[in-house]
Amino acid sequence: MNGAHDMGGVHGFGPVVQEEDEPNFHAKWEERAFALTLASGGGRWNLDMSRFARENAPPADYLSRSYFEMWAYGLEKLIVDNNMVTAEELEAARAGEHFDSTESPGLAPQKVVGAMRRGGSARVDADVPPRFETGQRVRASVDAPPTHTRCPGYVRGRTGVIDRDHGVFIFPDTHAHGRGPKPQHVYAVRFEASELWGSANQGGGVYVDLWDDYLELA
């Protein structure tokens, strides 16, 4: 979708400030927002559903929140959409009212650490033939679906070269909406800077990981 999260090449936001020795979390509540999102799901939602819950926020909400504030925002949407709590119960909780949810947590506390260590790779062992080969020139689709996609807006309709084949992965566009994994190859595609940003940007390039369905031969 063309949401506020897709900011590649957008003017007016200033440089990216890099914090030296930046910690994973800047406050305890950030740790909690991260852990709750992962522990609460327990099969109710997947990584791509979680991403879509955050990026689907209205632009004013998305741009006014910090990174982990958006994780908390997405978690609220996920637990309401999955009938774990009601919107009214959430509002009551904000007002300090206590209630006991009848829903069990996605993961028991003692299982959270193990699940975190195992991770959740989107790579799959599936015998799916690649549509493209290293060195081929390809063009990114101009499609701009209103649903989840990992094809950034600034490469749509642009031409690049397949640099490498990463293997087979779950397709996020279907996975985020409960339409199955649709496994396919993911490629590192190199785009010349001038192709993306115009003739004033000569030299160098940008590598973007793109799924089969985002590409066509140029």
Within the chain, all domains assigned CATH 1.10.472.20 are found at: 28-118
Distance between CA atoms of 198 and 190, rounded to whole angstroms? 15
Nearest CA-CA partner of 140 in 12, 5, 8, 3: 8
Residue 109 neighbours by CB under 8 Å, 6+ apart = 39
pLDDT at 89: 87
Homologous superfamily assigned to 28-118: Nitrile hydratase, beta subunit (1.10.472.20)
Residue range 23-41: average pLDDT? Answer: 90
Distance between CA atoms of 177 and 7, rounded to whole angstroms? 23
Fill in the DSSP letter of residue 123.
Answer: B
More confident residue, 62 or 119: 62
List, as one string, the DSSP characters of 75-95: HHHHHHHTTSS-HHHHHHHHT
User: Does residue 50 carry a pLDDT above 90?
Assistant: yes
Indicate the helix (H) or strand (E) that contains 31.
Answer: helix 28-41
| pLDDT tens sequence across 171-203 | 999 999 999 999 999 999 999 999 998 887 778
Residue 39 neighbours by CB under 8 Å, 6+ apart = 105, 106, 107, 109, 112, 115
Please indicate, yes or no, whether the overall pTM of this predicted structure exceeds 0.75: yes
pLDDT at 202: 79
| pLDDT tens sequence across 77-123 | 999 998 888 889 888 888 888 766 655 556 666 776 776 677 678 99
**Joined tokens for residue 146:** 């209103």
pLDDT at 100: 67
CATH number of 137-217: 2.30.30.50
**Joined tokens for residue 71:** 């994780």
Q: What angle do CA 203, 206, 208 make, to 5 degrees?
A: 160
Strands 205-211 and 137-140: unpaired
User: Does residue 216 carry a pLDDT above 80?
Assistant: yes
Residue 209 near residue 187 (C-beta atoms within 8 A): yes
Distance between CA atoms of 118 and 98, rounded to whole angstroms? 34
pLDDT at 106: 62
pLDDT at 107: 66
| pLDDT tens sequence across 111-153 | 767 766 776 789 999 999 999 999 999 999 999 999 999 999 9
pLDDT at 1: 85
Residue range 33-44: average pLDDT? Answer: 83
pLDDT at 60: 94
pLDDT at 127: 95
Within the chain, all domains assigned CATH 2.30.30.50 are found at: 137-217
